[in-house]
């Protein structure tokens, strides 16, 4: 059996087209162009690359981006003051603080300062709290898990009553992923670094989401035949034949797992493009929320 490949790149491209159409429509109607502010603190090269990619993606769909770059020794007060300034800026509908922040900064305090109406990353404690509560709706859902949910829907996966195993429990991927699956009525198991015998859990799963950051950890004999496997992991492995000397692989051993799974996402070209598409979608939603607020105050 060879798995169906879930093409995140193609699905994300379709979503970006749709966002562009909606942005063009609203600008033609005289509504403000959606704006995303990115806050980068320090010189982490990976963070710089992520911010650049997000700004480029914004430009492609007509979302304006406002880049802010603070030095690596910026104080807690300086970062929080910038967030407050952006909260008050009507051109800015979404605020993205690129994580991780330098160690001396209190990340949770910074994220808590973002207005929940501009929290397009969905990391504000109120948005996460609402995600965890029955009958409550977060304004924004974290982009990577939100993207995974779209991939599962597009692949026609029935989550109702399904056994889902999430590998990883981080604030940005594993935990919100598990919460979204619970909301979709799956029975969810979360595995992490202290879990005993992870394969015993994954072998029972109809859906496996891998978000651990360990190259090719998930093997074919961990997977129930026909299960759906979503690989969030992005890991650099040495490859002297590659131009850069490395290449990117997921947390799933794609070549062997694809022979067992019913459907699988590749790395790259699976979850990654969806994360950015969801950020753009959240920014458009933030602009729409601001329209409603203005209208109600008029
Ligand atoms: P993280 O904060 O490092 O969390 C990793 C999680 O995996 C933790 O919960 C950890 O357990 C668990 N873990 C680590 N080693 C394990 C092992 N050997 N067995 C079982 N569990 C283990 O990472 P993250 O930010 O969630 O990211 C996870 C992966 O997704 C990374 O490869 C990252 O690059 C990728 N990612 C991709 C996207 C995208 O858009 N495609 C977005 C975000 C992240 P403990 O909690 O016990 O420490």
| 56-69 CB burial, b ≥16 within 10 A, e <16 | ebbeebbbbbbebe
- Going by pLDDT thresholds of 50, 70 and 90, the confidence category of residue 242 is very high
Q: How much distance in Å is there from the Cα of 21 to the middle of ligand 1? A: 34
CB 178 within 8 A of CB 186: no
91 and 168 assigned to the same domain: no
Residues 156 and 265 reside in one and the same domain: yes
**Together in a domain, 205 and 261:** yes
Strands 64-70 and 246-249: unpaired
- Closest Cα partner for 36 from 60, 14, 15? 60
Residue 157's CATH number: 3.40.50.720
Q: Got the DSSP string for 228-254?
A: EEEE---EEEE-TTSTTSEEEE-SB-H
Q: Are residues 243 and 165 in the same domain?
A: yes
Residue 295 lies in a domain: no
Take atom 4 of ligand 1 and give the residue whose Cα is closest: 170
Q: How far apart are CA 144 and CA 78, in angstroms?
A: 28
* Residue 227 placed within a domain: yes
| Ligand 1 pocket test target in 50, 151, 212, 282 with most atoms within 8 Å of CB | 212
Tell me the pLDDT tens digit for each residue of 195-227. 999 999 999 999 999 999 999 999 999 999 999
Within a domain: residue 208? Answer: yes
Protein residues whose CB sits closer than 6 Å to any atom of ligand 1: 144, 167-170, 172-174, 191-194, 198, 211-214, 232-235, 271-272, 275
Domain-embedded: residue 16: no
Question: Which residue is closest in CA terms to ligand 1's atom 17?
Answer: 193
For residue 266, pLDDT beyond 80: yes
What pLDDT was estimated at residue 234? 96
Dump pLDDT digits (tens) for 170-194. Answer: 999 999 999 999 999 999 999 999 9
CA distances from 139 to 128, 168, 215 (A): 10, 24, 33
Question: In terms of domains, do 76 and 150 share one?
Answer: no
Average pLDDT over the chain, rounded to an integer: 97
Query: DSSP letter at 32?
Result: P
Q: What are the catalytic residues?
A: 54, 98, 121
Report the DSSP pairing between strands 235-238 and 246-249.
antiparallel
- Whether the per-residue pLDDT at 1 is higher than 80: the answer is no
Residues 143, 121: Cα–Cα separation, whole Å:
6
pLDDT in tens, 18-49: 999 999 999 999 999 999 999 999 999 999 99
Q: How far is CA 90 from CA 118, 119, 121, 187, in A?
A: 11, 14, 18, 42
Provide φ and ψ at 33, rounded to 5°.
Answer: -70, 135
**Contact between 162 and 186 (Cβ < 8 Å):** yes
Q: Which of 98, 208, 213, 247 to mutate to test the pocket of ligand 1 (most atoms within 8 A of CB)?
A: 213
pLDDT at 110 over 80: yes
Does pLDDT of 61 surpass 90?
A: yes
Distances (CA, A) of 142 to 124, 164, 177, 242: 10, 19, 9, 32
Ligand 1 centre to CA of 193 (Å) is 10
CA 287–ligand 1 middle distance (angstroms): 31
| Beta-strand relationship, 163-167 and 246-249 | unpaired
Percent of the chain past pLDDT 70, that is, above it, reads 100
Q: Answer yes or no: is 203 within a domain.
A: yes
Q: Give the three-state DSSP class for 160.
A: coil
pLDDT, one tens digit per residue, over 157-176 is 999 999 999 999 999 999 99
The reply to whether 198 and 99 lie within a common domain is: no
CA atoms within 13 A on the CB side of 94: 32
- Whether 131 is in a domain gets the answer no
Ligand 1, closest atom to CA 173? 26
Q: What is the pTM of this model?
A: 0.97
For residue 66, the enclosing domain spans 30-115
- Same domain for 262 and 153? yes
What's the structural domain count of the chain?
2
Examine residue 20 and state whether it is found in any structural domain, yes or no. no
Q: At 101, which CATH number?
A: 3.40.50.10860
Residue 291 domain flag: no
Mean pLDDT of the region 101-122: 97
Same domain, 98 and 184: no
To test the ligand 1 pocket, which listed residue (8, 168, 202, 222) has its Cβ within 8 A of the most ligand atoms? 168
CA of 84 to the centre of ligand 1 (A): 30
- Whether the predicted pLDDT of 54 surpasses 80: yes
Based on its alpha-carbon atoms, the radius of gyration of the chain, rounded to whole angstroms, reads 20
- Cβ neighbours around 266 below 10 Å, total: 18
Same domain, 107 and 42: yes
Q: Is the pLDDT of residue 113 over 90?
A: yes
Mark whether 185 and 77 lie in a shared domain: no
Say whether both 230 and 180 belong to one domain: yes
Is 298's pLDDT higher than 90?
A: no
pLDDT value for 34: 98
Please tell me whether residues 96 and 176 are part of one structural domain: no
């Amino acid at each position: 059996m060879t798995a169906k490949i879930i093409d995140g790149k193609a699905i994300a491209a379709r979503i970006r087209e749709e966002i562009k159409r909606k942005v063009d429509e609203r600008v033609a109607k005289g509504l403000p162009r959606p704006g995303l502010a990115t806050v980068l603190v320090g010189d982490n090269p990976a963070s710089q690359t992520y911010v650049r990619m997000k700004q480029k993606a914004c430009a492609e769909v007509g979302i304006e981006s406002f880049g802010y770059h603070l030095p690596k020794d910026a104080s807690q007060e300086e970062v929080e003051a910038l967030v407050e300034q952006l909260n008050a800026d009507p051109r800015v509908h979404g605020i993205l603080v690129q994580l991780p922040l330098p160690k001396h900064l209190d990340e949770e305090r910074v994220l808590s300062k973002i207005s929940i109406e501009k929290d397009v990353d969905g990391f504000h404690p109120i948005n996460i709290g609402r995600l965890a509560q029955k009958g409550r709706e977060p304004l924004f859902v974290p982009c990577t898990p939100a993207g995974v949910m779209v991939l599962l829907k597009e692949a026609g996966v029935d989550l109702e009553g399904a056994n889902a195993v999430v590998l990883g429990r981080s604030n940005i991927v594993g935990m919100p992923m598990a919460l979204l699956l619970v909301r979709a009525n799956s029975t969810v198991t979360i595995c992490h670094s202290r879990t005993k015998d992870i394969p015993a859990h994954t072998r029972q799963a109809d859906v496996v989401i891998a978000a651990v950051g360990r190259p090719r950890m998930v093997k074919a004999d961990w997977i129930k035949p026909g299960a759906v496997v979503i690989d969030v992991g992005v890991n650099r492995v040495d490859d002297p034949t590659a131009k850069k000397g490395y290449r990117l692989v997921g947390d799933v051993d794609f070549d062997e797992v694809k022979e067992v799974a019913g459907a699988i996402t590749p790395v790259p070209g699976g979850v990654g493009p969806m994360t950015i598409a969801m950020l753009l979608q959240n920014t458009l939603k933030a602009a729409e929320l601001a329209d409603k607020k203005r209208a109600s105050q008029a």
